[in-house]
Amino acid sequence: DQQVKQNSPSLSVQEGRISILNCDYTNSMFDYFLWYKKYPAEGPTFLISISSIKDKNEDGRFTVFLNKSAKHLSLHIVPSQPGDSAVYFCAASGRYGGSQGNLIFGKGTKLSVKP
């Protein structure tokens, strides 16, 4: 049973426009959420995170929104750049419960930003 779901395997966006990547989770014990970016032949790199006590966190062109009632988070990239083309993983962690504080990852969304 997938606790973290990224239902869109891929997303294509024009350069300069907004990219919105979505993530849903099922475990209400999750209280910390992260986004990772992964280029081919490299390990995932940390992008941005949000604690469940917040509903928004911003870092430059990247903003993560958290809707706890809907168990949904999203990553907005504005403006999108060709260098943003990568696979984006959503991850969640909970202090209690089965995850034991470890990160549970979604399957990823491949973002393509076209010039």
Distance of CA 111 to the CA centre of its chain: 12
User: Is 95 a binder of another protein (CB under 8 A)?
Assistant: yes
Residue with token string 């750049």: 81
User: Is 106 a binder of another protein (CB under 8 A)?
Assistant: yes
110 and 10 Cβ atoms separated by less than 8 Å: yes
Site string for another protein, 6-45 (x = CB under 8 A): x-------------------------x-x-x----xxxxx
Residues that bind another protein (CB under 8 A): 4, 6, 32, 34, 36, 41-46, 49, 89, 91, 93, 95, 100-108
